């Protein structure tokens, strides 16, 4: 039986997973900023007090801070890590002001801001290219090889040999596409477009809820139709097809994340399923225990997650800045500083509240509250 790694190894694998991804995210901001002629004052991995660092010949302070749950690049003219302008930047000499972030045209500021999440998606794509090149691509047609007796599929009228073309209008190219769509929709009625004997049918089905407990004790809820696929085929892709397959795989992971978030927002999934850094560390240790391929695939998924979260239109995140830039592009002038200040303060409170909430969920998943209640009782 595979055992969960100890605390020290879990922390180590967590840092190995998240540290490089944070660095590459911030490096995306930094490199595009340099290309646009913006000077970086600070490049930090982590927040809080500096643990180690150095200053390069361009005057950028590269540092590692004690709390490694994020990072930032502070550009010339920034008052803080959220890239709000300080009060003195307009009074700088022309050549100095031209090196500041806020002196740049709108499209350059947007490009610098978007570069971090884009870097995360590119990292995931490169990882998937390596995985696909090394192990090949598992391809299974979206065809029903068998129907489980008494299952939701049998009640809906599925037959062996049916080919699922689309679900709720979304194309299903592979059997895994069916699984990704169905597993997030337990108890939800959905419309299947099916090819059977040369004819196209529309079948209405509702996945049953299935609960799994993995080898580490994590409870996973998913929708289940009860259809079986044929045997998968491991296909060695030619080099020219690897980027496209990696992009498709990245899209599949991103689509699952978006679907899960929509379901939580709309109340179809419990907010207790949201995890934070403690749960991320636990998963990092578990995936590392399962082997290098499992761990590196997990790192790619985390990278996609970082890119996706940072694109959400929440002040303090990259998506919040891009939202303000979109408004600026429409109204042809920057959003008033007072409105930005209010939004960033609100965003900071919202992010801190979310961090506390997911940490509470993490501790609950570890059974801490249950054990405390037992001690008190």
Q: What is the pLDDT of residues 29-83, one digit of tens each?
A: 999 999 999 999 899 998 888 899 999 998 899 999 988 778 889 888 765 555 5
Q: What is the pLDDT of residue 267?
A: 65
Q: What is the pLDDT of residue 1?
A: 46
Q: What is the pLDDT of residue 256?
A: 81
Res. 186 pLDDT band, cuts 50 70 90: confident
Q: What's the rounded mean pLDDT across residues 294-323?
A: 89
List all residues 6 or more positions away from 126 whose beta carbon is below 8 Å from its beta carbon: 246
The number of C-alpha atoms within 13 Å of 236 and in the hemisphere containing its C-beta is: 1
Q: What is the pLDDT of residue 94?
A: 63
Q: Which residues pair with 265 in a beta bridge?
A: none
Res. 266 pLDDT band, cuts 50 70 90: low
**Which of 75-84, 194-203, 288-297, 366-375 is predicted least confidently?**
366-375
Whether 345 shows a pLDDT value over 90: the answer reads no
CB of 161 closer than 8 Å to CB of 196: yes
Q: What is the pLDDT of residue 368?
A: 52
Q: What is the pLDDT of residue 192?
A: 95
- Cα separation of 143 and 175, whole Å? 7
Question: What is the chain's alpha carbon radius of gyration, rounded to the nearest angstrom?
Answer: 24
Residue with the bigger pLDDT between 156 and 137: it is 156
Q: What's the rounded mean pLDDT across residues 333-349?
A: 80
Q: What is the pLDDT of residue 3?
A: 58
Average pLDDT taken over every residue of the chain? 83
For residue 165, the SS3 value is strand
Whether 85 shows a pLDDT value over 90: the answer reads no
- Cα separation of 35 and 30, whole Å? 9
The CA–CA distances, whole Å, from 230 to 120, 154, 236, 250, 369 equal 34, 17, 19, 24, 44
Nearest residue to 347 via CA among 127, 83, 135, 107: 83
Q: What is the pLDDT of residue 156?
A: 93
Nearest residue to 318 via CA among 349, 344, 352: 344
Residue with the bigger pLDDT between 74 and 276: it is 74
Give counts: helices (H), strands (E), the chain: 11, 12
Percentage of the residues of the chain whose pLDDT score is greater than 90: 36
Q: What's the rounded mean pLDDT across residues 124-150?
A: 90
Sign of CA pseudo-dihedral 288, 291, 294, 297: positive
The catalytic site residues sit at 26
Percentage of the residues of the chain whose pLDDT score is greater than 70: 84
Whether 184 shows a pLDDT value over 70: the answer reads yes
Q: What's the rounded mean pLDDT across residues 238-261?
A: 87
Res. 366 pLDDT band, cuts 50 70 90: low
């Amino acid at each position: 039986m595979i055992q969960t790694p100890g605390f020290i190894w879990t922390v180590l694998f967590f840092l190995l997973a998240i540290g490089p991804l944070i660095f590459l995210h911030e490096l995306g901001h930094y490199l595009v900023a340099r290309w646009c002629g913006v000077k970086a004052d600070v490049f930090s991995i982590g927040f809080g007090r500096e643990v180690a660092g150095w200053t390069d010949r361009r005057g950028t302070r590269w540092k590692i801070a004690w709390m490694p749950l994020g990072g930032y690049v502070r550009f010339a003219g920034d008052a803080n890590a959220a890239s709000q302008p300080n009060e003195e930047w307009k009074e700088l000499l022309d050549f100095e002001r031209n090196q500041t972030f806020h002196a740049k045209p709108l499209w350059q500021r947007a490009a610098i801001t978007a570069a971090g999440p884009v870097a995360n998606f590119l990292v995931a794509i490169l990882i998937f290219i390596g995985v696909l090149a090394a192990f090949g691509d598992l391809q299974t047609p979206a065809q029903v090889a068998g129907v489980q007796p008494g299952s939701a599929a049998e009640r809906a009228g599925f037959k062996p040999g049916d080919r699922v073309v689309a679900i709720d209008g979304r194309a299903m190219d592979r059997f895994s596409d069916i699984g990704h769509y169905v597993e997030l929709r337990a108890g939800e009625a959905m419309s299947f477009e099916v090819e059977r004997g040369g004819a196209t049918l529309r079948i209405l089905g509702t996945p049953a809820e299935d609960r799994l407990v993995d080898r580490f004790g994590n409870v996973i809820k998913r929708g289940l139709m009860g259809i079986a696929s044929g045997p998968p085929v491991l296909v060695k892709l030619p080099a020219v097809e690897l980027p496209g397959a990696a992009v498709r795989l990245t899209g599949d992971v991103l689509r699952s994340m978006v679907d899960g978030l929509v379901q939580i927002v709309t109340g179809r999934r419990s907010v207790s399923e949201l995890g934070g850094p403690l749960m991320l560390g636990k998963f990092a240790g578990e995936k590392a225990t399962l082997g290098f391929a499992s761990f590196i695939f997990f790192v790619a998924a985390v990278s996609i997650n970082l890119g996706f979260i940072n694109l959400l239109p929440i002040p303090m995140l990259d998506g919040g800045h891009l939202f303000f830039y979109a408004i600026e592009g429409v109204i042809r002038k920057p959003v008033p500083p007072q409105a930005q200040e209010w939004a960033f303060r609100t965003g900071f409170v919202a992010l801190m509240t979310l961090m506390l909430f997911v940490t509470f969920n993490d501790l609950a998943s570890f059974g801490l509250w249950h054990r405390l209640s037992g001690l008190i009782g």
